[in-house]
Amino acid sequence: MRRPLILLTALGILAASCGERGPGSMGPGPGGPGGSPTGDPTGGRPSPTAEPSGGTMSFEVWFARGDRLFVVHRTVPASPRVGTAAVEGLLAGPSDEERAAGLTTAIPGGSKLSDLTVEGGLATADLSGAFASGGGSLSVRMRLAQLVYTLTQFPTVDGVALQLDGRPVEVFSAEGLVLDPPMVREDFADLLPPILVEEPAIGERVTSPVTIAGTADVFEATVSMRILDAAGEEIVRTFTTAACGTGCRGDFEERVRFDVAEAQPGTIVVYESSAEDGSPLHAVEIPVIFAP
């Protein structure tokens, strides 16, 4: 699955590090739970030596749409604690615009991050007890999947272990889900949608050509696309081919040209065409702003 480039443009910050303290912590840092720095989780890259003075960093946050996972991106001021920023973005939930587009989260309100460490490829997230409250079996698996997918985007994290209020979790929530760390993406692959759109972002202002990209597991790897204007009228219809299809998931990316006379809201629809009658299957609608 495509992993976004983590942009760390501030002075003293190097690329793609998800650790702040050791051995390999992504947690609150000196003065917070876990103590002071003692190690380097960056895979041999030098650790940041100063607080950033400017710039930004971008990362994935995983939410839900219906009963499947959905990925968004966040851009925040640069910090050495990108892992902490990603989990805090996850716990904050979807934006109002994302909620209006159908995004939800299975993570209970009031869930807080106490500490985040990574050692030997294992990220250990210590969350408050609220994280285990409420929900049925789907909600419980979805919140764990959101956490695992958000953390394993980073190259230093292969799997995730969970703690609640400082204690390792072996049986999670009232549903009695047995956890056998490390939790990895493959444990929750059934929660991925047939089509996952990673670009463009919900609400993004786009110009022609717009890059439409993501991953898909669809018949004969054919990914269909439509661009609809503010009135819902189709102005472009096209398709592309994923790197793999029909039983396996592959990347897809297409630069699609469109023409609008003025800036306006619109929708990008990505779907699988039915082999029987051509009707859209597994359609994903991304509301955007089209600009001339």
Q: What angle do CA 82, 84, 87 make, to 5 degrees?
A: 110
Q: Which residue, 121, 113, 112, is CA-closest to 41?
A: 121
Give the least confident one: 40-54, 126-140, 208-222. Answer: 40-54
Q: What angle do CA 225, 229, 233 make, to 5 degrees?
A: 80
Average of pLDDT values for 44-53?
32
Average of pLDDT values for 71-85?
95
Q: Which residue, 183, 92, 189, is CA-closest to 144?
A: 183
pLDDT-derived band at 15, boundaries 50, 70, 90: very low
Locate 203 and state its tokens.
């609400």
Which neighbouring-strand residues pair with 21?
25
Q: What is the value of pTM for the model shown?
A: 0.83
Strand pairing report for 159-164 and 122-127: parallel
Alpha carbon of residue 37 to chain centroid:
28
CB environment 251-281: b (16+ within 10 A), e (fewer): ebbbebebebeeeeebbbbbbbbeeeeeeeb
Average of pLDDT values for 167-194?
95
Say which CATH architecture domain 195-290 belongs to.
Sandwich (2.60)
pLDDT-derived band at 31, boundaries 50, 70, 90: very low
What residue spans define the domains of the chain?
56-191, 195-290
Q: Which residue, 269, 270, 246, 261, is CA-closest to 291?
A: 261
pLDDT-derived band at 44, boundaries 50, 70, 90: very low
Q: Does 176 have pLDDT greater than 70?
A: yes
**Which residues are within 8 A (CB) of 31 and not within 5 positions of it... i.e. 6 or more apart?**
none
Locate 131 and state its tokens.
């994280």
pLDDT-derived band at 1, boundaries 50, 70, 90: low
Locate 142 and state its tokens.
């979805």
Locate 126 and state its tokens.
């210590």
Average of pLDDT values for 11-18?
34
Average of pLDDT values for 247-269?
97
Amino acid 51: pLDDT: 39
pLDDT-derived band at 245, boundaries 50, 70, 90: confident
Amino acid 9: pLDDT: 36
Residue with tokens 């989990």: 87
The whole-chain average pLDDT of the chain stands at: 85
Higher pLDDT: 159 or 10? It is: 159
3-state secondary structure of 190: helix
Q: What percent of the chain has pLDDT over 90?
A: 78
Amino acid 246: pLDDT: 85
